[in-house]
Each structure stands twice: as C-alpha cells, then as structure tokens.
Amino acid sequence: MMSGMGRITIADIARQAGVSTAAVSYALNGRPGVSDATREQVLKIAADLGWAPSSAARSLSGAHTETVGLVLARAPETLGFESFYMQFVAGIESVLSERDYGLLLQVAPDIDAEVRTYRKWRAARRVDGVVMVDPRSPDPRLDLLVGPDALPAVVVGDPSLSGGLTSVYTDDAAAMRSCVEYLAGLGHTSVGHVTGTPEFGHTHIRDEAFAREAAARSMVTEVRRADYTPDAGAAATRDLLRRGGVTAIVYDNDAMALAGLGAAHEAGVRVPGEVSLVAWDDSPVCRAAYPQLTALSHDVAAYGAHVARRLFEALAGEPPASYRDSTPELQVRGSTAPPPAR
Amino acid sequence: MMSGMGRITIADIARQAGVSTAAVSYALNGRPGVSDATREQVLKIAADLGWAPSSAARSLSGAHTETVGLVLARAPETLGFESFYMQFVAGIESVLSERDYGLLLQVAPDIDAEVRTYRKWRAARRVDGVVMVDPRSPDPRLDLLVGPDALPAVVVGDPSLSGGLTSVYTDDAAAMRSCVEYLAGLGHTSVGHVTGTPEFGHTHIRDEAFAREAAARSMVTEVRRADYTPDAGAAATRDLLRRGGVTAIVYDNDAMALAGLGAAHEAGVRVPGEVSLVAWDDSPVCRAAYPQLTALSHDVAAYGAHVARRLFEALAGEPPASYRDSTPELQVRGSTAPPPAR
C-alpha cells in the first residue's frame, strides 16, 4: 500500500478506499463534495496508514506552511548571554508545539538582512506569519509587513511603533518609573543609567521615563550608552564609579548588571553598602549573583507565549489590536539599599 | 507582468521570454532541454522580474526545502539559562545564513515528542536534514535517522553514540582529565563533582573520566547529581559545603557553577580561599562573576558552525565520518587556588 518513496500519498488512500483522489482530497481538507460516510472512511484509512500531509503540497494549494518566522537582527555572539531571547523563543514554542507548528529562526547581521529575509520568506511562501521584535522609528521592515500582500505579523513592542499591526508590549515607562520611585524612596538623589542600543524604540521609551521621573524628583542623573554586552556594562560601571557621585545604577539588561556587580567588586566598592544596582529583565543569573540582584522582573516565556497566541489570531483574520502584557515588576533583592551616610 | 497575487510565476517569465513554461522550468532548474541562449534569456528575465522560487514548488519537484531542523528536548524554562544552546544556534545560523538556509527549531518536552517531530518532518518534507543533540544510549531517535529512507542527520556527540551517522564531538574525557590534573597540581586531594542529566551520553563520559582520573591520583571524590538548573547547582553546593571535606568543586555547566558561587558566598565560605570552583562551558557569565570563574572553555558558536558545515556535506552525499571539534581548554581565573592549609 506504500508508495515507492515510503511515504503515504493521497493515491494510496484512494486505492484502499476505492474512491477517487479528488474525493480523498475533499475529505482530508474538510471540503464539501463527499458524503459523510466516505469522509469518515477516508479519515480512518489515512489515520491507519499513518498519512501526514506534505507541507509542500498544502502550501501550493494555498493552505498553511505550519511555520512561523522569527528573525533576530543581532550579532550571533550577543545571543549567548541574552537569556531574554532563549526564554522568549521557549515561550513561543510552548504555543506553537500545541498546534504542531515549527519556528523558522534566522539570525541576521543587521536590519537590512532581516528585510531581505522577510522578502525571501514571502516570495517562497516559507512561513504563515512572522514575529517582529525590536521595532524602531522609522522601521524599514514595516514596508513588507503592512499592506494587502504583506506577511501576517505581530510586532513585539510599543503600539506607537507597530505601523498599525497587532502589537504586544510591556509598559516599560511605568516599570522604569516604579524603579526610580523605589530608589528615591531609599534616599538616593544621584542615579546612573546604563542604557541600551539607541535604535531600539524601547530604549528611547526607557531613557525618557528615567530622565523625566528623576527630574520630577530633582535627582541628579548620569547616563552611559552601552550595547547589552557584559564588557560594555563593566566599562560603564567602572566609569561611573571612578567619577563618583552616583549611589545607584539601573541597567537595561541583566548581563550588564551582573558585569557591573563584578566591576564594583573589582574596584572594592561595596554593593549595596556604597552603590545599589538594579537589573532589567530578571533571570536565574540575577538570583545566582552575590548579592542577588534587584531586578525589573517579567515572565519572558509567558510574554513569548502571549505573542504567539496573538499571531494565531492574526492568521485567523482577527483585526489588528494592541495588547499590553504584564508590566515588569521590581523584585527587590540584596543589591539595593539606602545610600551611604555622607 | 505580475501575476494576480503579486508574486512572479514561471508563467510570467514564459510570457515575457516567449517560450513555454516547461522551457522556463528547465532553464531555472539547470536541466537539459533548452538552448544556452534561451537559458540565459530566461535567467535574465527571472532576475529582472525579481522572481524567487517557491519552496513549496521545489520540494514537490524533489528539490530542497532550504531548511535544517533542530529539536531541543528540554523543558522550555531551562533554555533561558543555558547559554550553550543560544550560542550553538547562533553558530549554526552563521553557516546557514551564508547559504540562505533557515533553521526550523522545535522545543519538545521530551525525547518521545522529539521522535514524533522527526516523523512529522520526514512525512511532510519540512526539512532537508537535522542536527541531533544530546545522544543517549540506547537512543530511540536513531531508528528514524539511520537507514535508506531516513532524514539526513549529523549527531552532536561522541561517535560511539551516533549509530554510524556523521558525528561532531568534543573530547570531554580529555577535558575532564585536564581539569582534575590541574586541581591535583594545586594540591587538592578531595574534590566534588556536580554532574548533569544521567540520560545524556556526555554526562556518562565526563563522570567516568572524573572518577578514573581522581582515583588514579588517589583523590577523594563526592558526586552530586543535578540537572543544569541554578537551583540544583546551589542545593548540591550547599550540601557539599555542609558535609565539609571537599576543597574544590567541578560543575557540568556554567549556570550551576555561578549558583554554587552564590551559595558559597551565602554560607560565608570564601572562594577560592576555602573552596575552588570550576565551570564547564565558559560564557560571559563566568567572566562577569566575582571572583571570575575558572572554566573549561570552548568556542560553542564555532562548534555549531562546524556541525552545520558537516550537515551540508552529508546533504551533498558525503559518506558518514566522525569529526573531533577542539577540546575544551581550562581557562584559569580567580575562582581556583591551592586548598587552605590544614
């Protein structure tokens, strides 16, 4: 009953059922044109033979690739210490695997390569839709993702940056305000911010919230631009400690905060006795550090799962909308305390 | 000249070239049946129109999906702190992206789900080949990956576990021996080992090398079974420190070593003054810790790239072979020193 290649085909099922291949196709695809009895018989034979649809055949017939695409436009080496993306991917997978979908993952050196990847995926019908991360302003990717012939997409980021597409976002401004408020409550009046890649929209949102909230509380601020790498986090921390003055530092990711903790140890500056440190994106690394790092904590795997569910809604034809995921909450641990007495 | 859907089809090219669609297909697929002049003209028109082959059409015609599959049979939450896999994936991507290949990534809860995924991918022709990680003994996945109708695959692990398939591996036994030798050279005579998941073949290889090399040097050993999570690493460390005796601990990954460092700090045990710690798989986390962690260091991204290159060779029909990647080398940092004087 098997075809030559060892794969079950519609013809095999048709032969065994004694019906035409067209009837088998109607039955398997849930279309009218066959009786209920025939449909039931065909489905039973298909199941018995272990038939699985060819994704190639289905996408030619306008059906689904059962694949979702994600491009990460980051230098490959940054992925090794950005626990965010692996947790995010794991969350996406937790929803995809329930529906037998796969995730087509492409690491691209830059945003131009990301645009080329979308173009190729669209032309070759490789994915049903994509998850777009790190929106910018302006964002060249939106040209390919907005419009009648576009790839269905969900943007992970602020609705103001999503070009009208469905977006899932966290309220980073509120999270940053709560962090500055907490430090002010401890008595800090001079705080540093080791911030992320300026092209990313969320960096701008966090920067602005930090500056405004600190100004509203008459705090003195020092900002250091960095790129999420431990080396940049350590260098910015050394610089802030050398200049003196700040008694607390907020970092835009956990890898930089951990490196900042190492730099403080190295410089003989006590944490939290002389300087308090706060990480963004909590992770097991924050809990494993000594002292444990106070962090803006967010369930990143749940965030990824939320994004995947919204993408399935978009694929099902739901109109675009914006969805706020839970706001990162400050998890207070051992790396923060009141500033040293003068 | 565009088709209704906005995608360039072979019919569009045929119309513009004034030849049959069959001739266009021959020309585009590099098959005989058209003159060189026609072939050249077709290729030029295809390029001018921005034609891209449909992966669906190509896989129906027996050509490639331009996709490589990777299943990670781990609980999704472990991926967030296992920097190994994100670096490994980044290395694979660095080779795939050169050839415009994508990586179809599936996180599966267990090895049975991984087997089902392979079966589905093979039936639906979703990937050209797979990278299989964490080989076991016996390994149910090999039934699907060995044989005439199997998915082409490269096994990441010891050749003794690869079922005759192409394998790429590191000499974990040699790396572990060098680590024990180093600790013995410092004067340690009682060492702990916080080891990994027993089902994985490499765990067995490391365990055995640790036990043999320590026995050959008349060292006393304490082994604690753990599962790569920071919590398990911290618990095993607390237990070893409470019992007393060991003056050095070797961990099977960096996340457990970092958690062990935190547990030692918490217990007021000085590192490296009272206990030395060694991580397996170096990562930025090891350099960011204080003191910085001595680690068995391996370029994991290069390892992933190596695996991807061997998979392309397998896809091109090269016979199976075993390839040893570079051996993890001990990177000595601040977490190791001679044992305390008695």
Tell me: the pLDDT tens digits for B52-98? 554 444 444 444 788 999 998 877 667 766 778 888 988 998 898 88
Q: Looking at the complex, report in whole angstroms how far the Cα of residue B5 sits from the nearest Cα belonging to chain A.
A: 8
Distance CA B257, CA B335 (A): 10
Residue B162 has pLDDT above 60, yes or no: yes
Contacts of B86 in chain A (CB under 8 A): 79-80, 82-83, 85-86
Residue A85 has pLDDT above 60, yes or no: yes
Are B93 and A83 inside 8 Å of each other by CB?
Answer: no
Q: Out of A158-162, A206-210, B227-231, which region has the weakest mean confidence (pLDDT)?
A: B227-231
Nearest CA in chain A to B116: A100
Order across the sheet with A166-169: list the strands: A322-324, A166-169, A153-156, A129-133, A67-73, A102-108, B102-107, B67-72, B129-133, B153-156, B166-169, B322-324
Q: Out of B40-44, B259-263, B303-307, which region has the weakest mean confidence (pLDDT)?
A: B40-44
Residue labelled with tokens 């920067």? A207
**What average pLDDT does this structure show over A37-61?**
64
Please confirm whether the linkage preceding A138 is cis (ω < 30° from 0).
Answer: yes
Residue B102 has pLDDT above 50, yes or no: yes
- C-alpha angle A121-A127-A8 in degrees, rounded to nearest 5: 120
Nearest CA in chain A to B78: A87
Cβ proximity of A281 and A296 under 8 Å: yes
- Residue A132, strand partner residues: A155
> Which helix (H) or strand (E) covers residue A110, if one does?
none
Q: Of A156, A132, A133, A136, which is closest to residue A145 (Cα–Cα)? A: A132
Distance CA B241, CA B263 (A): 9
Order across the sheet with B329-331: list the strands: B220-225, B190-195, B248-251, B276-280, B294-297, B329-331
Q: Looking at the complex, report in whole angstroms how far the Cα of residue B198 sits from the nearest Cα belonging to chain A.
A: 23
Distance CA B110, CA B108 (A): 6
Q: Which of A80, A108, A292 sits opposite B83 (nearest CB)?
A: A80
Distance CA B93, CA B309 (A): 11
Q: Confidence band (pLDDT; 50, 70, 90) for A51?
A: low
Q: Of A233, A237, A184, A240, which is closest to residue A212 (Cα–Cα)? A: A184
Taken in order of first residue, the domains within chain A and their CATH numbers are 10-52 (1.10.260.40), 67-171+301-324 (3.40.50.2300), 172-297 (3.40.50.2300)
Residue B265 has pLDDT above 70, yes or no: yes
**What average pLDDT does this structure show over B237-250?**
96
Residue A232 has pLDDT above 90, yes or no: yes
Cβ proximity of B301 and B88 under 8 Å: yes
Distance CA B131, CA B67 (A): 11
Pairing outcome for strands B102-107 and A102-108: antiparallel
Tokens of B281: 């798989």
* Burial status of residue A278 (CB atoms within 10 A of its CB: 0-12, 13-18, 19 or more): buried
Distance CA A205, CA A216 (A): 16
Distance CA A10, CA A25 (A): 7
The pLDDT tens digits for A127-151 are 999 999 999 989 999 988 988 778 9
What mean pLDDT value characterizes chain B? 87
What mean pLDDT value characterizes chain A? 87
Contacts of A100 in chain B (CB under 8 A): 120
Are B102 and A234 inside 8 Å of each other by CB?
Answer: no
Cβ proximity of A262 and B290 under 8 Å: yes
**What average pLDDT does this structure show over A29-34?**
66
* Burial status of residue A275 (CB atoms within 10 A of its CB: 0-12, 13-18, 19 or more): buried
